[in-house]
Amino acid sequence: MMKKRKAEERGVTELGWLHSRHSFSFGGYHDPEHMGFRALRVLNDDVVEPGGGFGTHPHRDAEIFSYIIDGQLEHRDSMGNGSIIKAGSLQYMSAGSGVMHSEFNPSKTEPVHFLQVWLLPNEQGGKPRYGELDLREAGTHDNGGQSLLSGSGKAGALAIRQDAEVSFHRLAAQDTVGFNLAKGRHGYLHMIKGKLDIQGAGELAAGDALAVSEERSVAVQVVEPAEFLWFDLS
């Protein structure tokens, strides 16, 4: 079973300094039909205006990562981490037993566009963790893909507290790629840029998503140069 959701069907938050599109219920957007997919609970497509941001606030028991599409995002947390994450890079935080953090657009002239993603952990508590990955060279090897987060210890990926594998893919037009799902596993594909043709589901463009269950494989043809996230979930 493949279920496609178009970008324009997502929830919307407009706060002047923040423009968000929500794949799942979040904040003031509530849709009982879209409360998450397996362990994937939040996928927000955010644009923050120059100088705007999220003040210091708490998290616990959440696996959180942000991928910067355009611009730069400044991160600070109670673990002592503080850095500016630039376009093409990813920042990860496992909140564990509890952490405080803030995220701001440090630019006075340019907005920042990023994805913020939360997965529910398969265990509560634990020491908070932090990591970063540079994805600017992704697509030059491994069939256009790079492992981001892994619950199984995959080489090169950041370790997470969930039985999930998350990868980033950057592919050229006419490229093809396939994803295999073991029995009982589920897939979720979120488009960042470009256009794909999915066998059995049709075309996906920027902001579109595809939830996959009870399928053993997904065949992808790139129509226009594309970037996307792939989640392999229990």
Alpha helix segments (H runs only) across the chain = none
Over residues 209-226, the pLDDT tens digits come to 999 999 999 999 999 999
Contact between 64 and 121 (Cβ < 8 Å): no
What pLDDT score was predicted for residue 143?
61
Share of the chain above pLDDT 70, in %: 97
Over residues 43-55, the pLDDT tens digits come to 999 999 999 999 9
pLDDT grade for 103, boundaries at 50, 70 and 90: very high
Q: Which residues of 33-47 are buried (b: 16+ CB within 10 A; e: fewer)?
A: ebebbbbbbbbbbbb
Over residues 138-182, the pLDDT tens digits come to 765 556 689 999 999 998 899 999 999 999 999 999 999 999 999
What would the two tokens of residue 226 be? 């594309």
CA distance 134 to 157: 11
State the CB neighbour count (10 A cutoff) for residue 221: 16
Share of the chain above pLDDT 90, in %: 95
Residue whose structure tokens are 């997904």: 218
What pLDDT score was predicted for residue 138?
79
DSSP state for residue 29 in the 8-state scheme: B
For the chain, give every residue range classified as CATH 2.60.120.10. 10-134, 142-233
pLDDT at 3 over 70: yes
Q: What is the mean pLDDT of residues 15-41?
A: 97
**Overall pTM > 0.85:** yes
pLDDT at 102 over 60: yes
Mean pLDDT score of the chain: 95
Q: What is the CATH number of domain 10-134?
A: 2.60.120.10
Task: Name the architecture of domain 142-233.
Answer: Sandwich (2.60)
Over residues 123-137, the pLDDT tens digits come to 999 999 999 999 988
